Amino acid sequence: MRFYKQQHQFYCGIDLHARKMYVCIIDQKGKTRLHKNIPTDAEMFFELIFPFLEDIVIGVECVFCWYWIADLCAQHSVAFVLGHALYMKAIHGGKTKNDKIDSFKIAALLRGGNFPLAYTYPAPMRATRDLLRRRMYLSRRCGELVAHIQNTNTQYNLPEFAKKISRKYNREGVAERFENPVVRKSVEVDLSMIDALNQTLRQLEWYIEKTAREHDYQTLYLLRSIPGVGQILALVILYEICDIKRFATVQDFSSYARLIRPVKESDGKWAGKGNKKIGNHHLKWAINEAVILMLRESEQAKHFVDRLTKKHNKGKALGILTHKLGRAIFFMLKNNEAFNMNRFFSS
């Protein structure tokens, strides 16, 4: 957990919502200089903070609508920090909670050096990252439709499909195996939606590959050197990491990618597990997917997992390999080196 420690003359805490925003400004002595609820209008907000622009920092909790205010602060060279929502216990744990109190707490956390930082993703890469996440959403919906067809086939005790129906050329005659016309219609709807989603995904992937090359082609090349990792998966990893320099250590990166299991201790005793959701689940999915593809491509990876399975179990072995690959990605990008299979499995 990192905190914002820099000192300023004024501290602005904002409880931000889609249509309204409660603004609180306090000075170095903790005196409230402004406390007001306004619409989320850029001009009105800038007029409100204009008398304090000499030395002010603006803090906002990381919610879905923070993009515009970060861009506004960058445009006018105003210090802006993003608060990690899951770490801001002082806001969510109060007995009484409303927008006015929350905005004051954010400003007070900034003043006291206890404001937990989240990464302010740079604007030039932000839209492409969101588009990649949208592609992942559509891809999962396509997988759910395929799973529904397979479950329906099992529900009516029909023979298993000879080939994977996720591929277009294996879906011929799938609907005709169901005698009930209502069930057949349900499967036909699933198949038509799969075809439509696949066509949309092909167009989307072509557009992403065309536009993403403008950002960091060298890092993309390094990620593609991992066995099995293609263009789209490398782009997902690239855009979820953005800048490897923001992670001071490989442990910080592993924690961000949810590759380690958090453990709580008190008085030297185990006190349970928690905070599993702190981190980037998109990056975790991408690294897990890279491990699966590596196991398809590499005999060394298969041998490594088989050897660990004998010592632990299959799930533990895959977890170790996933963590190992996450660490390798960190050092690849930090040292600007391509993936080395022999070095990877020699340690």
| pLDDT bracket for residue 218 (50, 70, 90) | confident
Specify the residue for token string 């294996």.
Answer: 170
Query: CA dihedral defined by 84, 86, 88, 89, rounded to 10 degrees?
Result: -170
pLDDT at 216 over 80: no
Q: Which residue has the higher pLDDT, 4 or 215?
A: 4
Query: Which contacts of 24-29 are long-range, i.e. CB under 8 A and separated by 24 or more positions?
Result: 24/100, 24/103, 24/104, 24/106, 24/107, 25/49, 25/52, 25/56, 25/107, 26/104, 26/107, 26/108, 26/111, 28/111
Instruction: Report how far residue 344's alpha carbon sits from residue 347's, in angstroms, rounded to the nearest whole number.
Output: 6
Q: What percent of the chain has pLDDT over 70?
A: 98
Residue 255 pLDDT exceeds 70: yes
In residues, how long is the chain? 347
Element (H, E) at 165: none
Q: What is the mean pLDDT of the chain?
A: 91
263 has pLDDT over 90: no
Domains of the chain: which residue ranges?
A: 3-118, 124-215, 219-263+275-346
Spell out the residues 6+ positions from residue 119 whose beta carbon is closer than 8 angstroms to its own: 82, 242, 246
Task: Give the global pTM.
Answer: 0.88
By C-alpha distance, which of 99, 53, 51 is closest to 72?
A: 53
Residues 31-86 have pLDDT tens digits of 999 999 999 999 999 999 999 999 999 999 998 999 999 999 999 999 999 999 88
Q: Give 34-43 pLDDT, tens digit per residue.
A: 999 999 999 9
Element (H, E) at 169: none
Tokens of 35: 């406390």
The highest-level CATH class for domain 3-118 is alpha beta
